[in-house]
Amino acid sequence: MRYITDTEWQAAIADEFYLQECVGLTETASEEGTAVVVTTEGYLIASRDSWRRDSIALLRLQEELQARQAFRQQLLGDAREIRRFLHDAEATRTQRLRQHDEPTFDRTRAQQALEDLVTQALVLEASDIHLVFDARHASLAFRVHGRLVGHLERPREILVAAIAAALNTSSDDFHELFDEQRLSSASINVVVALHGEPQRIRLRVQKSPTRNGFAVTMRVQIERQQILRLQDLGVAADLIAQLHLLLEQPRGMLLIAGPTGQGKTTTLAALNLMIPPDHKIISLEDPIEIIQPHIEQKPVIADHAELNFANMVKVALREDPDVISISEIRDSKTAQAAYTAALTGHLVTATVHAHDCFGVLQRLHDLGLAYEMLAQPGVIRGVLAQRLLKQDCQHCANWVPDDRTACPKCQGTKAGKRQFVGEYLDVNDGLRRALRSNTLDDYRAELISHGWKPLDQQLQEAKECQMESHSSRCG
């Protein structure tokens, strides 16, 4: 990468569309050696420290410019010269705004700021965007393969305006005035360009007050997201075969367990792909996260008098389904409804918040389903408990860094795709006897003695394999 010449500096004009963002990137940096600017000629100029420190943000700026066919070249510049150039450009802009009494921020710029955030999230393959505002500043981070990365400071005014404008103009379910100190949940629809192709994105927004400001978390949902198959998720072939046999059964429950953020919804969608196309699937979701063609996806509102899970299961049963998919069994009424659906000849797939497979049985018991009820033949067919184990980016090991960019695979986050670790429990006659006699601990010990590996053991072995990646036991 070459340095900008004096002649190019003299002809350069700051692109006001990106001016505030460049000022924010430059002024919020703790080191004086960081500075960045975009010019109307299509130059992305940054100091050497900025190319190293802010590679994610600079890559996103370059993606934007390329999408608009406005990118020309990356250039190196002296931090002091860039800062002086920014100061002069900002002063000129402020003077013009005062002379013409123009607003300092408009809806178009706010909308673009939101699209920039979403584009950056897509480039990073982030599942969530995290924003935290205090009285003067705003910080930005992304959830990438389970890790919170970025932790960048941004101009507060721009991001507040972006959130407020989006809620007021691009949301179907936000029906109030924007208030920083008010608890709010809503959805935002936005279209962004990525690699030259338009992407329709739905953001699930949760806003809540903090001690000295407020926080916003946005779940990124791609409208035409490809549904991954179980093998794409890293599920072992023998486990896929077991699940396939289970899904061929006409009735009973298949339950998926794990904490929040461990891929249960993705696995549930992958299971739906395995169900024959001549079966009618009704999926009850709060909220709908992955668009699944040819499946009746119905939105559920957990605390609504009519649209809650338990009532919607009853509605679904009257619509002649073969399979009912429940995004989460979280209360006793939903547990009872799922149990009834399984008893009446339907296949039920659902997720449950529990640590492992045996924890699912305890959780259902706590929700009012007695062990004798769970022990009835055909009620529960199988339980899958899963985790997604964090991994470092494998590409970084062979990446030779230069002055311009970080690793092109992870964009400098060091986060690699997570590893699937799963524990499967087949509900057979032995387990049903243990349920009736309340001897689940003894049955679990017996399984382990015969080679069954509990989830915690699998996780420990997977972590050891990561630390000893060249060891023969890791295969």
CATH number at residue 307: 3.40.50.300
From 187, 222, 257, the end of a domain falls on 222
Residues 280, 333 share a domain: yes
Residue for token pair 């000022």: 23
Domain termination site, one of 101, 136, 169 = 101
16 and 110 share one domain: no
The residue written with tokens 């920014």 in the block is: 86
What's the whole-model pTM score?
Answer: 0.70
Tell me whether residue 262 is in a domain.
Answer: yes
- Shared domain for 333 and 466, answered yes or no, is yes
pLDDT tens track, the chain, 475 positions: 899 999 999 999 998 888 877 877 776 655 678 899 999 989 999 998 888 877 777 887 887 788 777 888 999 999 989 988 988 888 887 776 666 544 444 556 778 888 888 988 988 889 999 999 998 889 999 999 989 988 888 888 888 988 988 888 788 888 787 889 889 889 898 988 777 778 889 999 999 999 999 999 999 988 767 788 999 999 999 999 999 999 999 999 999 999 988 999 999 999 999 999 999 999 999 888 888 888 999 999 888 889 999 999 999 999 999 999 999 999 999 999 999 999 999 999 999 999 999 999 999 999 999 999 999 999 999 999 999 998 888 777 666 555 445 676 676 777 888 899 999 999 999 999 999 999 999 999 999 999 999 999 999 999 988 887 644 445 4
The count of structural domains within the chain is: 3
Q: 332 in a domain, yes or no?
A: yes
275 and 337 share one domain: yes
Tokens 């339907």 belong to: 346
Instruction: Locate the DSSP E strands across 278-336.
Output: 281-285, 296-299, 323-326
Residue 293 lies in a domain: yes
Closest CA to 391 of 329, 304, 268, 474: 474
pLDDT at 222: 87
Q: Do residues 141 and 245 both lie within one domain?
A: no
Say if CB 316 and CB 272 are below 8 A apart. Answer: no
Q: Is residue 1 part of a domain?
A: no
Report residue 411 as tokens: 């964009």
**Residue 85: its pLDDT value, please?**
92
Whole-number Å distance between alpha carbons of 372 and 432: 8
- CATH value at residue 155: 3.30.450.90
**pLDDT at residue 105 in the model:** 47
Gyration radius from the chain CA atoms: 26
Q: Give the orientation angle of helix 237-247 with respect to helix 264-274, to 10 degrees.
A: 60
How high is the pLDDT of residue 47?
Answer: 92
What does the pLDDT read at residue 69? 75
* Rounded Cα distance, 462 and 456, in Å: 10
- Cα–Cα distance between 26 and 90 in angstroms, integer? 13
Q: Give start and end residues of each alpha helix (H) in 28-155.
A: 48-53, 55-67, 79-100, 107-124
pLDDT number for residue 102: 44
Cis peptide before 287 (omega within 30 of 0): yes
Is beta strand 323-326 parallel, antiparallel or unpaired with respect to 296-299? Answer: unpaired
- Compute the residue count for the chain: 475
Do residue 256 and residue 385 come from a single domain?
Answer: yes
- Do residues 178 and 285 both lie within one domain? no
Within a domain: residue 352? Answer: yes
Q: Does residue 166 contact residue 188 with C-beta atoms inside 8 Å?
A: yes
* CA triple 161-139-184, angle to 5 deg: 55
* Residue 298 and residue 312 in contact, taking contact as beta carbons nearer than 8 Å: yes
Residues 287 and 210 in one domain: no
pLDDT at 31: 63
Using a 10 angstrom Cβ sphere, with 0-12 exposed, 13-18 middle and 19 or more buried, the burial of residue 25 is buried
Distances (CA, A) of 258 to 180, 267, 385, 422, 457: 33, 11, 6, 10, 15
Distance CA 82, CA 34 (A): 9
Residue after which a domain boundary falls, among 222, 253, 277 = 222
User: What's the pLDDT score for residue 113?
Assistant: 83
Residue 146: domain span: 104-222
241 and 216 within one domain: no
> Are residue 92 and residue 156 in the same domain, yes or no?
no
Domain shared by 283 and 328, yes or no: yes
* Residues 296 and 394 placed together within one structural domain of the fold: yes
What is the SS3 assignment for 193? strand
